[in-house]
């Protein structure tokens, strides 16, 4: 099968966390204002939430304020209280069909994670706080703690990905993208978290593996056999992938789906084969093999 382009995904998902990042030419960064918490500028600590919304969070230079790891981007990092901290915002971009969305953030514990945990969430629409999050607006989420690799005074990257299936099931296509980080400890937290360098990638997806991404694929569930096979007859003709994402086998199947009888099917395949022969896509021998297999089939009988 001839592949027009290479496939690309946001990365490898393992237990809700993306542990191996795989950037590709088919990824588009989504704009996150103040993504590395450089505002407001501080010389020590400013306990003002760096994103719109209430909650115990702040921005500060680190190291230099208590314990903390060096920033991974810029000069400042965000502080997230492990008990009731919250940093969240709704973006101007909206969820689009056919894309993975991968939310990533660098996370460090301030004095050893212990049993402290935090939640990172991709949601749709606008919320006033974590109490507004529910099954209808959460697209993807993950809980981060020492058990998932959060360590003291060292940033590690954690990610969560919303797939096209997740987005479609939630009815989120065309809805604003929301991102958030929330402390989960309800008063027993001892560590708290540092965050830096939040990023969000929209990644084109090729669900059927034909080399054409879903957002421009006319046939997103293509027949991807190496050759065109009609029932038990292998024509030996290469199953070409066309620029619109349909394969030659898809077009033959379309003939079968629309045929009122066997004669209609054979006539449709012959017309298709001859058209491709005239266009220089198939040789005369290949066109003949394709039509011969159609004639031998029971399709439409």
Residue 268: the pLDDT is 96
Residue 68: the pLDDT is 64
Q: How far is the C-alpha of 164 from the C-alpha of 10, rounded, in Å?
A: 12
Q: How far is the C-alpha of 183 from the C-alpha of 179, rounded, in Å?
A: 14
φ/ψ of 289, rounded to 5, equals: -60, -40
- Number of Cβ atoms within 10 Å of the Cβ of 34: 16
Q: Which helix (H) or strand (E) holds 291?
A: helix 284-296
Q: How far apart are the first and last CA of the chain?
A: 29
Bridge partners of 86, per DSSP, are: 182
Contact criterion met (CB below 8 Å) for 257 and 269? no
Domains of the chain, with CATH numbers? 11-204 (2.60.120.260), 218-296 (no CATH)
Residue 167, helix vs strand vs coil: helix
Residue position matching structure tokens 């020492």: 146
Residue 113: the pLDDT is 58
In whole angstroms, what separates CA 276 from the centre of its chain? 36
**Pick from 233, 282, 238, 230: nearest CA to 256:** 230
Fill in the DSSP letter of residue 71.
P
Q: How far is the C-alpha of 269 from the C-alpha of 258, rounded, in Å?
A: 11
Please give the structure tokens belonging to residue 292: 């011969």
φ/ψ of 255, rounded to 5, equals: -60, -45
Contact criterion met (CB below 8 Å) for 13 and 32? no
Q: Which helix (H) or strand (E) holds 294?
A: helix 284-296
Residue 50: the pLDDT is 80
Global confidence as pTM: 0.71
Fill in the DSSP letter of residue 39.
-
Residue 82: the pLDDT is 81
- Written as tens digits, the pLDDT of the chain (301 aa) is 544 333 334 543 333 333 333 333 477 889 999 999 888 888 777 777 788 766 556 666 554 454 567 889 988 888 888 877 889 999 999 999 888 899 999 998 876 656 788 999 999 999 988 889 999 999 999 999 887 888 877 899 999 999 888 999 999 999 999 999 998 876 555 668 889 999 999 988 777 888 887 778 899 889 999 999 999 999 999 999 998 999 999 999 999 999 999 999 999 999 999 999 999 999 999 999 999 999 999 998 8
Q: How far is the C-alpha of 13 from the C-alpha of 101, rounded, in Å?
A: 12
């Amino acid at each position: 099968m001839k592949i027009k382009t290479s496939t690309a995904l946001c990365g490898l998902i393992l237990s809700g966390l993306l542990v191996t990042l795989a950037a590709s030419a088919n990824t588009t960064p989504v704009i996150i204002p103040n993504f590395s918490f450089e505002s407001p500028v501080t010389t020590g600590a400013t306990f003002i939430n760096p994103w719109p919304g209430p909650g115990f969070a702040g921005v500060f230079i680190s190291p230099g304020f208590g314990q903390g790891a060096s920033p991974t981007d810029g000069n400042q990092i965000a502080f997230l209280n492990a008990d009731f901290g919250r940093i969240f915002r709704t973006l101007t971009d909206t969820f689009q069909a056919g894309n993975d969305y991968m939310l990533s953030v660098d996370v460090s514990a301030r004095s050893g994670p212990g049993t402290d945990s935090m939640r990172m969430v991709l949601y749709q629409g606008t919320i006033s706080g974590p109490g507004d999050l529910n099954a209808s607006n959460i697209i993807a989420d993950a809980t981060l703690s020492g058990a998932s690799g959060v360590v003291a005074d060292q940033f590690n990257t954690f990610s969560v990905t919303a797939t096209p299936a997740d987005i479609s099931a939630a009815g989120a296509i065309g809805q604003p993208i929301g991102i958030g980080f929330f402390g989960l400890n309800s008063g027993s937290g001892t560590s708290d978290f540092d965050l830096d360098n939040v990023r969000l990638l929209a990644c084109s997806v090729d669900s059927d593996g034909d080399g054409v991404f879903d957002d421009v694929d006319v046939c997103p569930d293509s027949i991807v056999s190496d050759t065109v096979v009609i029932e038990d007859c292998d024509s030996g003709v290469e199953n070409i992938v066309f620029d619109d994402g349909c394969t030659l086998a898809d077009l033959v199947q379309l003939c079968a789906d629309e045929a009122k009888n066997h004669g209609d099917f054979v006539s449709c395949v012959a017309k298709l084969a001859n058209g491709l022969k005239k266009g220089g896509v198939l040789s005369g021998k290949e066109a003949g093999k394709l039509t011969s297999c159609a004639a031998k089939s029971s399709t439409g009988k």
